[in-house]
Amino acid sequence: MRHAEDTIIDGGVQGTRFVINYMRNLRDMLSGDTKSPVNLSTKWDGAPAIFAGIDPSDGLFFVAKKSIFNKNPKVYKTSEDIDADTSGDLNVKLKLALVELPKLGIRDVIQGDFLYAKEDIKKTTIDGESYITFHPNTIAYAVPKGSKLADTILKSEIGVVWHTVYRGDSFETMSASFGEEIAGKLKNVESVWSVDAIFKDISGVASFTKDENDAITKILSNAGTIFQKIPASVLNGIAENETRRVRINVFINTKIRKGEQIRNPSAFVDDLIIALDTYFETEADKKKTERGKQATHSTRDEVMKYFQENKKSDLVAMFTLYNYIVEAKLIIISKLNKVQNLKTFLKTKNGYEVTGQEGFVAIDHLGKNAIKLVDRLQFSKANFSIDYIKGWQR
């Protein structure tokens, strides 16, 4: 699952066309056009990721972490299995899951995020208001104390949010389906607060006004116009070379973690070329043999050939298009963040700061294609900054 804008880097011409059309469909949906259905899920900042369900090979219930999809799938069906492979907080949470989740009557294999164990729930005062809170990772979730939801959470032993269903005759052949109702089809038990990640706007506040619709339409129109002018070789030249694609994504992520936007696409391209060349020179210097150095230089030459064969103006246009998708995405996120069933905060040594959701996932009507809508500058800064206290820090 990719960030919307990264589909341009990773998907070439086909991926770029896909994301522009996807963003148009999201705009239409938020403007009230039911002919352009896109399912939305909220990204919860839970931890750890958890899988649960029935092992198709023997019909036994299991819980697992992401190693379920290793070449040799690793699943836990007993406490002894968990003890043999994990320790600490992960061990405790997996054991709780193994005790509580079978009560839900899970039939398929489902994936979600662990939100809390009972001991993680705190009573907290924020800006003079009393809440119960849980803080699994970067974002702290708050529910007004005394509310019906707070009472439900306080009675539970664990909280889990579900977002993906897997089906197949074996772990190796399972296919994922996003955006399905999961929790609503499970048994309702008091000891598990089990919720879906599906985005629900009962209030109707996540609907574009005419001005908002006009603004995002102009951005997407600009994106479509510039897309038509970019040669296919520029877009496909990244997607079709794995090393080139990975190194460019690494450079972009490095900028994001520093809180830097691509404000000047021309300067960004210059910086990218220097950074890639520096990377390969550094890697070559690490090699102890002349043969190793030559192999690294050969890889560098293949990667850098792209920048010699394509006009800089076309590269600048591509990252300008990248920015247009980011702009459109942020307008959508801002609108979706107005719908909050739980309040979200970042914790600092001086108290709490209001923040939005981690992000959202846009899913096609078949449930097979999905892209992430995340304010990466905000969330990545919070995720990597030492100024924000994470839930697992003591």
Element of type H or E holding 341: none
Q: In the prediction, which pLDDT does 250 show?
A: 96
SS3 of residue 276 by DSSP: helix
Q: In the prediction, which pLDDT does 378 show?
A: 86
> What token pair was written down for 267?
């300067």
pLDDT digits (tens, 9 = 90+) for 261-288: 898 999 999 999 999 999 999 999 999 9
Q: Counting beta carbons within 10 angstroms of the beta carbon of residue 207, is it exposed (0 to 12), middle (13 to 18) or buried (19 or more)?
A: middle
pLDDT digits (tens, 9 = 90+) for 58-77: 999 999 998 898 888 899 99
> What token pair was written down for 243?
């090393």
Q: What's the rounded mean pLDDT across residues 162-182?
A: 90
Q: In the prediction, which pLDDT does 386 show?
A: 84
pLDDT digits (tens, 9 = 90+) for 17-46: 999 999 999 999 888 876 766 788 899 999
Q: For all residues of the chain together, what is the average pLDDT?
A: 92
Is the predicted pLDDT of residue 366 greater than 70, yes or no? no
Query: Which pTM value belongs to this model?
Result: 0.86
Beta strand 370-373 with 2-3: parallel, antiparallel or unpaired?
parallel
pLDDT digits (tens, 9 = 90+) for 9-21: 999 999 999 999 9
Q: pLDDT-based confidence at 139, cuts 50/70/90?
A: very high
